[in-house]
Amino acid sequence: MMRTAQNQRNSEQRSLQSIGQLIDELKSDDLRRRANSVKNLGAIAQALGPERTRSELVPFIMELIDDEDEVLTALADSLSNFIDYVGGPQYSTVLIQPLEQMCFLEESAIREKATNSLKNVINTINVAQNEEIVVGLVKRLSNCDYHSAKGAAASIIPFIYSKVSSAAQSEFLKIYISMIKSDIPTIRKNATIFLKDLVILIPKTPENDMISLIKLIIKDDQDYVRLYIMDSIVSLAKAIPPAKHASIVFPLLKVLAEDPSWRIRYVVCDKINDLAEIIGKEQTIKVLLPYYSKFLSDGEAELRNIACTRLAKFCQYLDNDNIIREIIPCLKPLSTDSQSYVRASLASSLLAISPQIGKQNTNDFIMEIFFNLLKDENSDVRLNIFKGLEEFTKVMGAEVLYQSLVPALTELAVDKNWRIRLSSIEFMTFFARAIGQNFLNDKLSKILLDWLSDRVFAVREAAVQCVQDLSKTLGGPWAEKHLVQKIYVFQNNPNYLFRMTTLFALQAIAEYLSGDFIAKNVIPNVCQMSKDKVPNVRMNVAKTLKVLMTKTKDKSAEELGKRTLQLLLGDADSDVKYVSKTVLDSL
């Protein structure tokens, strides 16, 4: 009894000691220690208790605000959940003060975190009863000289708009409008970024006001202010009834989609699917499709690129007719686009539309583009084609693809960039699944062997994994008949790394092979390798034997295995000895 109490007191003292250390390190010279202390601010606050936290810790925190970014990020995070440590929502103002100071900082990442933490704190307050607190906060932020603080105000206003009284709401609206009309572009930009959150609240926010604000921004002469208005237009479409779209939303969209600045058009194309979802299929075909076709053939490469990435999803809103008549003619020139990243994006999206348009149409229109991209000189393009093959095969059937894909895969498999070789390995399994047992013909088995003896370990490792997948998909008997023989090729390779590959591969497929086969075929071969001159190989023999012997019950194989392991126990290398011992013990 005594001991337990003593232990408890000791551990309390120890943890108090560590809290004391954390407190001291809040102002340590070492940045990492300061950051660590700040991360554990909650523990400190808990030890101090709510009253001391309010009266001592939080004022001390104000001293930390002039510190490095790493400390400040941790601080914003910690303060986010601090409301309990200061004694509950009634003391929220205590937390608002340091977070508000952090909103004045120049580093935008930290301001964002501080603003989010402020929102968390505000969530705990009963806004209806404590309106002066939030209104006061917003007013202080928006009256400040620093542009950054106004951005924080713009972020918070939509967040609490619905919870405050209508008098406060009109105050907030006035503040927001003055930010949008400000002379300083940075303030207009920050206000525009969050405008979408106000717009989505229509009809709580007055519709006409919101629309006139959007119209103001669309005419702004600063590119980077207009950049963010597309989000508001999407929100507007969501908030107002579809009947009004034609008269209000679409004219605004037209201005943006035809903007001479490419960045604005880019944002329109970026969000085109969000808009399509809201306005529905009919309107998409009528209004959005013309813009989209233009984007696909835009003079600016970045725009063609973003249009290609949005292709698959956008086509879901169209009829087959539209796709064939309007979209597909644009795709052919894109497949020979001068910029490789455009072609790569096309390759990722292209095949996803084939399920939608069906086999015949795919055959007539897509196959040609598909072959073009398959022969592309840029490896990323070809790789992306392979990624979309699953859907494509379902539509076109495996046989068609087999003929055309094998040469392409062969080329990718020997690409000079090892990451490309690595990515191409996954396609092997896909082939196996699609084509079945007749799969591993000469060409493909050569590719597989090349991968197993690749210079780069990551590729060999993936090849072993591939071998395992193949065995799983095609079955043990197939593996026994076709695969294992080929793996043995490396057994006597002069390079020890490849001899080890044999062992890794055997380990990987062991569970798919029959016990009989293992006993008669595999174990004798593996035991032969125990006489290898490289200790690494001998060690892996032991490991492999472990895996193999658990799969077989054959007595003579067991005997052979155990004898080999006993021999290895007396090996010159200590690692070999150790592993053999472990294996023997476990058997």
Query: Between residues 60 and 498, which has the closer beta carbon with respect to other proteins?
Result: 60
- Spatial CA neighbour of 271 closest among 242, 231, 313: 231
Give the angle 112-214-281 at the CA atoms, nearest 5°: 100
**At its nearest, how many Å lie between other proteins and the CB of residue 261?**
4
- Spatial CA neighbour of 88 closest among 60, 117, 53: 53
**At its nearest, how many Å lie between other proteins and the CB of residue 181?**
17
**At its nearest, how many Å lie between other proteins and the CB of residue 320?**
34
107: DSSP letter: -
- How many angstroms separate the Cα of 267 from the Cα of each of 224, 255, 301, 420, 513? 11, 13, 14, 31, 55
Query: Between residues 163 and 263, which has the closer beta carbon with respect to other proteins?
Result: 263
**At its nearest, how many Å lie between other proteins and the CB of residue 511?**
45
Query: Between residues 140 and 562, which has the closer beta carbon with respect to other proteins?
Result: 140
**At its nearest, how many Å lie between other proteins and the CB of residue 302?**
5
Site residues (vs other proteins, CB under 8 A): 13, 16-17, 19-20, 23-24, 26-27, 44, 47-49, 56-57, 60, 63, 66, 106-108, 145-147, 185-186, 222-224, 260-263, 299-302
Give the angle 375-439-506 at the CA atoms, nearest 5°: 110
**At its nearest, how many Å lie between other proteins and the CB of residue 58?**
10
Distance CA 59, CA 98 (A): 8
Please compute Rg for the chain using Cα positions: 33
Query: Between residues 187 and 353, which has the closer beta carbon with respect to other proteins?
Result: 187
Query: Between residues 17 and 162, which has the closer beta carbon with respect to other proteins?
Result: 17
Taking the C-alpha atoms of 550, 551, 552 and 553 in order, what is their torsion angle to the nearest 10 degrees? 60
Query: Between residues 20 and 280, which has the closer beta carbon with respect to other proteins?
Result: 20
**At its nearest, how many Å lie between other proteins and the CB of residue 258?**
13
**At its nearest, how many Å lie between other proteins and the CB of residue 331?**
22
Query: Between residues 167 and 184, which has the closer beta carbon with respect to other proteins?
Result: 184
Query: Between residues 70 and 223, which has the closer beta carbon with respect to other proteins?
Result: 223
**At its nearest, how many Å lie between other proteins and the CB of residue 338?**
11
Q: Are 224 and 189 spatial neighbours (Cβ–Cβ below 8 Å)?
A: yes
- Spatial CA neighbour of 194 closest among 95, 124, 115, 260: 115
Give the angle 208-209-215 at the CA atoms, nearest 5°: 90
Query: Between residues 111 and 551, which has the closer beta carbon with respect to other proteins?
Result: 111
Sign of the CA dihedral running 112, 117, 123, 129: negative
436: DSSP letter: -
Ordered DSSP codes for 211-266: HHHHHHHHT-S-HHHHTTHHHHHHHHHHHS-GGGIIIIIHHHHHHHHT-SSHHHHH
Token output for 499: 């001899």
Sign of the CA dihedral running 27, 28, 31, 32: negative
Distance CA 256, CA 267 (A): 9
**At its nearest, how many Å lie between other proteins and the CB of residue 410?**
29
Query: Between residues 58 and 409, which has the closer beta carbon with respect to other proteins?
Result: 58
